[in-house]
Structure 1
Amino acid sequence: MKKSIAILAALAALAAPLSAQAHRAWLAPTATVLSGTDAWVGFDAGMSNGIFIPDHAAMNLAGLVITAPDGSTAAPENMIRARYRSSFDLHLTQPGTYKVANVMNGLMATYTENGEQKRWRGQAADFPAALPAGATDIVATRTASRIETFVTLGAPTETVFTNPGEGLVLIPVTHPNDLAAGEAATFKLANDGIAAAGVEVTIARGGTRYRDNPEEQTVTTGADGSFTVTWPEAGMYWLNASVRKPAEGATVASNASYVAVMEVLP
């Protein structure tokens, strides 16, 4: 029970808008494009003030899912959790593109019972049956957080780019492992399976520790959820978006957040 509460508390923090939270979540690979018949890639994951600078807290990887090019689930190796970052390795044994994602979904609710305010946390499927019969003043919020990156062995493939229909997800038009400085790349965002229009996407290049200018840009998705980025220079980039929907009628409110880490080559 304590573990579940800790996971959902972390989920709530990840789903919060950036204006209310200084710490940024990231899942960064040591390389994104590799050659040969097999290869190894290392990953670091954390919550920090500066992007890719482990200075605040390690990421909880309870929701880590690695999808191999053939659609199967690959296993991380050598997992550790240090004070400021979590780390693991991935052995690439299939040609094509892998998706590495840390996904957390849940529901948080407050309600009144016998004049006392109480809280409930759990999975959306268990709500509202888990609430007592006399519960009133119910306020519920569904939360969904997805943090992911992509790595390719050999030629890029697209089999891992599926839309799960839950939460905020990225649908590449330009392959995320085929990015070059000075070139434009296009992606789409969908929320709960529907095009996410009018959503602000923040793009920031890593390595800000020794720069006065954070070098961030913001773009807004179009009616079909699409947005285009022209990469100013090579480097590792962090993309973030969030969508908040108020409750309407019998529905619950929802907070969804998405983070991607992509490498732009010269």
Structure 2
Amino acid sequence: MPKAFRAAAAAALLTLVVAPAAHAHRAWFAPSATVLSGQDPWVTIDGAVSNDLFYADHVPMRMDGVKALGPDGQPVELKNVSTGKYRSTFDLQLAKPGTYKIANVTEGAFASYKQGGETKRWRGRAEEVATAIPKDATEVQVTHNTRRVETFVTSGAPNDAALKPTGKGLELEPITHPNDLVASEPSKFRLLNDGKPAAGVEVEVVLGDTRYRGKGVELKATTGADGTFQVTWPEAGLYWLEATVQGQEANGGRRSAGYVATLEVMPD
């Protein structure tokens, strides 16, 4: 997107707090490149859950929920898929010019209940809840979880067909294109929860590759009434963005939705 469009986002700037990055197990994608050109470009993408961002040291990302959409919004085949001890990896052929979205979408459920005076817990697929909980269970509490982990890659000129929200779960609607991020320039995004603006949600943005830096940079922002938030990147690098929302379902159950994105910021 043009610089004039990015600059217009500055008016909606939200407060950012700089703090040391906390250590925790985080899920992420790490593409070998995010902006490519030339004939028949390819990109290799790693996926893992780790303590240090973008350094595989814990467990690999499970691949059963990973899909890619091409510049026309249609699925693209993942090639050379492999899962090792600490990471999964696959290749993506960028056969068409434009923007590709790679996403790992997972859904699950957690339940606690009492049976015969004893508290029990269950975890599994959302569609299994009805049959997994005994008929004589009491004090049943069910939490449905959805989580989306994404990254974006562009070959040639960017477009937005692959970026359209699905209307399910917590999603990022880019206002600034995710492959047009530049250090020291503001970028604007909108968080959507089931297709509607997610207001008052805290967003965490962490600069990765801190294994040899000792301490990283962590930015925090809160979405406005229209779900928008803005980030001015302090430096170039690969960033990890996360947001989570909690809520109640109509049937009295609980719901948790999470979103994660890996974004590359280029030097100014």
The counterpart of 2:202, out of the listed 200, 203, 206, is 200
Shift of 1:122: 4.4
The counterpart of 1:80, out of the listed 74, 79, 82, is 82
Count of equivalent residues:
247
Contact 2:249-2:255 within 8 A present in 1 as well: no
Give the aligned partner of residue 265 of structure 1.
Answer: 266
Contact 1:65-1:102 within 8 A present in 2 as well: yes
Q: In the alignment, residue 243 of structure 1 is paired with which amino acid? A: V
Matches within 5 A, 1:60-209: 60-125=62-127, 127-128=129-130, 131-209=133-211
Give the aligned partner of residue 54 of structure 2.
Answer: 52
Contact 2:204-2:221 within 8 A present in 1 as well: yes
Shift of 1:125: 4.7
**1:33 aligns to 2:51 (yes or no):** no
SS in 1 for 2:161: coil
Task: Please give the alpha-carbon distance, in whole angstroms, between the structure 2 residues aligned to 1:167 and 1:248.
Answer: 13
Post-superposition Cα deviations, 1:105-154, rounded to whole Å, max 9, x if no partner, equal: 12222233444544444444554466444332110001001000000111
Q: In the alignment, residue 216 of structure 2 is paired with which amino acid? A: P
Task: Please give the alpha-carbon distance, in whole angstroms, between the structure 1 residues aligned to 2:64 and 2:193.
Answer: 22
Task: Please give the alpha-carbon distance, in whole angstroms, between the structure 2 residues aligned to 1:261 and 1:158.
Answer: 17
Task: Please give the alpha-carbon distance, in whole angstroms, between the structure 2 residues aligned to 1:206 and 1:85.
Answer: 17
Q: What is the TM-score normalised by the length of structure 2?
A: 0.85
Higher relative contact order (Cα pairs below 8 Å, separated by 6+ residues): 2
Contact 2:69-2:162 within 8 A present in 1 as well: yes
Contact 2:99-2:155 within 8 A present in 1 as well: yes
Task: Please give the alpha-carbon distance, in whole angstroms, between the structure 2 residues aligned to 1:55 and 1:143.
Answer: 25
Contact 1:37-1:95 within 8 A present in 2 as well: no
Shift of 1:63: 0.5
- Percent identical residues: 51
Q: What is the TM-score normalised by the length of structure 1?
A: 0.86
Change (3 A) 1:75 1:250: same
**1:252 aligns to 2:256 (yes or no):** no
Contact 1:112-1:136 within 8 A present in 2 as well: yes
Task: Please give the alpha-carbon distance, in whole angstroms, between the structure 2 residues aligned to 1:107 and 1:57.
Answer: 21
Give the aligned partner of residue 219 of structure 1.
Answer: 221
Task: Please give the alpha-carbon distance, in whole angstroms, between the structure 2 residues aligned to 1:130 and 1:215.
Answer: 43
Change (3 A) 1:56 1:123: closer
Q: Which range moves more in the overlay, 209-218 or 127-136?
A: 127-136
Post-superposition Cα deviations, 1:198-257, rounded to whole Å, max 9, x if no partner, equal: 111111112201213311111111111111001111111111111122x36633111111
SS in 2 for 1:209: coil
Contact 2:43-2:92 within 8 A present in 1 as well: yes
Structure 2 residue runs without a partner (length 5+): 1-20
Contact 1:235-1:264 within 8 A present in 2 as well: yes
Contact 1:25-1:45 within 8 A present in 2 as well: yes
Q: In the alignment, residue 265 of structure 1 is paired with which amino acid? A: M
Task: Please give the alpha-carbon distance, in whole angstroms, between the structure 2 residues aligned to 1:213 and 1:21.
Answer: 10
Shift of 1:91: 0.7
Task: Please give the alpha-carbon distance, in whole angstroms, between the structure 2 residues aligned to 1:242 and 1:21.
Answer: 17
Contact 1:37-1:94 within 8 A present in 2 as well: no
